[in-house]
C-alpha cells in the first residue's frame, strides 16, 4: 500500500495563553481531566490505588507525546560529506516505535524501514531513528506518519530518492472493536528514484533479507 497523504502542518505545543481555545491546559487541569475519566469509567479516583494516577498519567503523556516539541529538521540538518563519493542505497531497518492513533488515543506499535540514495553526503544513522520518534510521539494515523517521515527526509536531506515502509499492530483493532490480535498494517511512501518499481523491489528485498 503506497500511502498518499496530505500532511498536516507540523504540530507544536499549544502556548500558555488565554486566547480562546488555543490555551494550553495547566497541569492541574490535565490531572483533573484524568479524574473525570476515572469517575466516568466507574471507579473512584480517591481510592488508594488511584490517588496518584492522574499525576502519573500526565507525566506519562509528557513522554508519550514529546514529539510535539521535537523538530525533525534538527536531526536532518547535518550531512557527512567525506564518504568517498558514496551514492548507493543506504538502508536502516527495524526501527522500533510506539505511537498513538488519533481516533481512539490507543497505541499502535511496530517497525520502520528507511532507505535513501545519498546526494552530497550521508546522514548519521541514529538520526533516522530520531526522526521516526519525533513523528511517532504524536497523535496521527499510520498513513500520515509514513508520509511525514518520507517528506521530512526528502525536504531536509535532499537525497536522490527516499523509501519508507511501516508495519504496525494497532491495539484499537486488537483490544476493541473486531478484536483481531496479530493483524498488522503496512504502509509505504516512495519518492524520487524509488518511484521506479525496480528500485522499490530492491529496497523491499534488502529489508526482508534474513540477518
Instruction: Name the phi and psi angles at 64, rounded to 5.
Output: -65, -30
Pull the grid cell for residue 40. Answer: 466516568
**Cβ-proximal residues to 141 (8 Å cutoff; 6+ apart), any chain:** 5, 101, 102, 103
> In Å, how far from its chain's centre is CA 93?
15
101 is annotated as contributing to ligand binding: yes
Which value, to the nearest 10 degrees, does the dihedral of the CA atoms of residues 115, 152, 95, 110 take?
Answer: -110
- Quote the CA–CA distance of 127 and 43 in Å, as a whole number: 43
Instruction: Name the phi and psi angles at 208, rounded to 5.
Output: -95, -5
- Quote the CA–CA distance of 58 and 62 in Å, as a whole number: 6
Q: Which residues are catalytic?
A: 101-104, 142, 170, 172
Q: What's the angle, vertex CA 127, arms to CA 24 and CA 13, rounded to 5?
A: 5
Pull the grid cell for residue 81. Answer: 560529506
Binding-site residue positions for Zn(2+): 101, 104, 172
Binding-site residue positions: 101, 104, 172
Amino acid at each position: 500500500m503506497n500511502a498518499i497523504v496530505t500532511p498536516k502542518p507540523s504540530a507544536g505545543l499549544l502556548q500558555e495563553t488565554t486566547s480562546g481555545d488555543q490555551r494550553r491546559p495547566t497541569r492541574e487541569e490535565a490531572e483533573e481531566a484524568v479524574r473525570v475519566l476515572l469517575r466516568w469509567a466507574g471507579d473512584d479516583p480517591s481510592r488508594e490505588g488511584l490517588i496518584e494516577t492522574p499525576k502519573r498519567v500526565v507525566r506519562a503523556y509528557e513522554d508519550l507525546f514529546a514529539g510535539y516539541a521535537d523538530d525533525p529538521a534538527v536531526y536532518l540538518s547535518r550531512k557527512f560529506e567525506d564518504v568517498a563519493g558514496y551514492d548507493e542505497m543506504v538502508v536502516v531497518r527495524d526501527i522500533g516505535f510506539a505511537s498513538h492513533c488519533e481516533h481512539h488515543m490507543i497505541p499502535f506499535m511496530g517497525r520502520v524501514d528507511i532507505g535513501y540514495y545519498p546526494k552530497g553526503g550521508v546522514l548519521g544513522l541514529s538520526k533516522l531513528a530520531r526522526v521516526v520518534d519525533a513523528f511517532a510521539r504524536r497523535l496521527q494515523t499510520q498513513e500520515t506518519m509514513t508520509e511525514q517521515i518520507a517528506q521530512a527526509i526528502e525536504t531536509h536531506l535532499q537525497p536522490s530518492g527516499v523509501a519508507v515502509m511501516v508495519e504496525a499492530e494497532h491495539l484499537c483493532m486488537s483490544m476493541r472493536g473486531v478484536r483481531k490480535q496479530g493483524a498488522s498494517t503496512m504502509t509505504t511512501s516512495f519518492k524520487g528514484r524509488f518511484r521506479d518499481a525496480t528500485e522499490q523491489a530492491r529496497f523491499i528485498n534488502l529489508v526482508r533479507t534474513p540477518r
